[in-house]
Amino acid sequence: MLQESLHPFLTDLYDAAMDMHAWHELGARLAATLGSQTSALWVVEDGRVIEMVSSLPAEAVALYTQYYHTLDPWAGMAGHTPRLQVLLGPELAPQCAVLASEFYNDWGAPFGVCHVVGAVVPLDARATLGLALERPGDADAFTEADRQRLNVVLPHLQRVVQLRRRLGHLEAQAQVGCAALDALPMGVIVTTADGTVVFANTAAEVLTRRDEGLRLGGRHSGLGAVQPMEAQALRGLLYAVTHGGAGGMVRVTRRTQPLLAVLMAPLPTRLHPAMAPAPALALVLITDPMDGAGLAAPALQQLFALTVAEAGVTLALAAGRSAEEIALERGVSVPTVRTQIRQILAKAGALHLRDLVRLLADLPVVRPPGTAP
């Protein structure tokens, strides 16, 4: 019967793991559901309070987090043996000792915290969850009935906070991954079988905004091409990839620039978002020949231990210039340039100029933050 009466609250509780607004409202919901004036949840990691959700005034939360949590006699006693067990205030600390403490007189009394019921439960090897329901001094102390109600809620709270921590780690990983993809010069798109775009990095968005060959439509139009035959080829390849095919390449025509190379393959299963069941997804890579190698002289100096002059010559070679052209541009003799080329080949471990150009073309390139493709 008690479990059934709390069912609506428990259902909403799990929503709070994934909804930031619901999470911040959790303190007030706890207090209203469990019959207290205020409530507080706090996570301690490596001895430091890293998060707190409370229906207490913001000033009270700030003071508690900054200083008074170290003087809290209830949390101090409960923290010695974190376990999935609800304790009434007098079981955590004698009420007479609480009323005589700095914690109560400077913090508890002003903010209406005199009677408590709560627990400190383990979350993982580094973190614990603290929970307290509070009533002011002119209210009744908590009873066995309050303990029973909180005992029903406690394991759910533990799982919700564990889930929230896990989701937080995944979100951080996703943000790092997106930043890494945005640094790539090639376009990267993830799409569903019907062409709906799940993700597109900055380079892909810029390429498709130009409307010269590729189109990155909305939710229902999806990935496409300006030329009807090429659009049909993209759709056919996408269908094949998301239905067990290995993938392939389509060349997309542009009005005034060289063709875009579009490579499509199944998205590796381990990269799928947390969906149940997860739909088949395709990974689309777009290469624009106009991007060029994008090499930088300082990077070449670091990678191959080149001098400043040698790095400049290397960039000119990568751009297709001859020794004679480089000598004219740099105001030096052709023999000087040929000597520099021999030194560059030796430092880079290349057999000849064609080998050097191939090596330079294979180097990974990233875009500095804030630069456009």
Taking only the tens place, the pLDDT of each residue in 306-332 is 999 999 998 888 777 889 999 999 999
Q: Is 139 exposed, middle or buried, given 0-12, 13-18 or 19+ CB atoms closer than 10 A?
A: middle
Boundary of a domain, candidates 291, 312, 343:
291
Do 159 and 27 have their domain in common?
A: yes
Is there a domain that residue 285 lies in? yes
Is there a domain that residue 70 lies in? yes
Do 267 and 308 have their domain in common?
A: no
Do 86 and 228 have their domain in common?
A: no
Is there a domain that residue 71 lies in? yes
Confidence check: pLDDT of 41 > 50: yes
Summarised one tens digit per residue, pLDDT across range 73-97 is 887 665 555 677 888 999 888 999 9
CA dihedral angle for residue 58, residue 63, residue 64, residue 67, rounded to 10 degrees: 160
Do 194 and 250 have their domain in common?
A: yes
CA distance 218 to 221: 5
CA 181 centroid distance within chain = 12
Boundary of a domain, candidates 155, 174, 193:
174
- What is the three-class DSSP state of 236? helix
Q: 123: domain range?
A: 2-174
Is there a domain that residue 372 lies in? no
Do 143 and 203 have their domain in common?
A: no
Is there a domain that residue 179 lies in? no
pLDDT, average across residues 21-40: 87
Is there a domain that residue 274 lies in? yes
Is there a domain that residue 323 lies in? yes
Do 196 and 305 have their domain in common?
A: no
Do 232 and 120 have their domain in common?
A: no
Q: Are 107 and 61 in contact (CB under 8 A)?
A: no
pLDDT of residue 277: 45
* DSSP-assigned letter for residue 351: S
State the CATH number of the domain containing residue 130.
Answer: 3.30.450.80
State the CATH number of the domain containing residue 215.
Answer: 3.30.450.20
Do 278 and 144 have their domain in common?
A: no
Boundary of a domain, candidates 267, 291, 315:
291
Do 41 and 114 have their domain in common?
A: yes
State the CATH number of the domain containing residue 340.
Answer: 1.10.10.10
Is there a domain that residue 367 lies in? no
The domain total for the chain is 3
Summarised one tens digit per residue, pLDDT across range 227-282 is 889 889 988 998 888 888 877 888 888 877 777 878 888 876 554 444 444 467 88
- What is the three-class DSSP state of 47? coil
Do 303 and 318 have their domain in common?
A: yes
What's the whole-model pTM score? 0.50
Do 47 and 159 have their domain in common?
A: yes
CA distance 193 to 240: 9
Do 11 and 108 have their domain in common?
A: yes
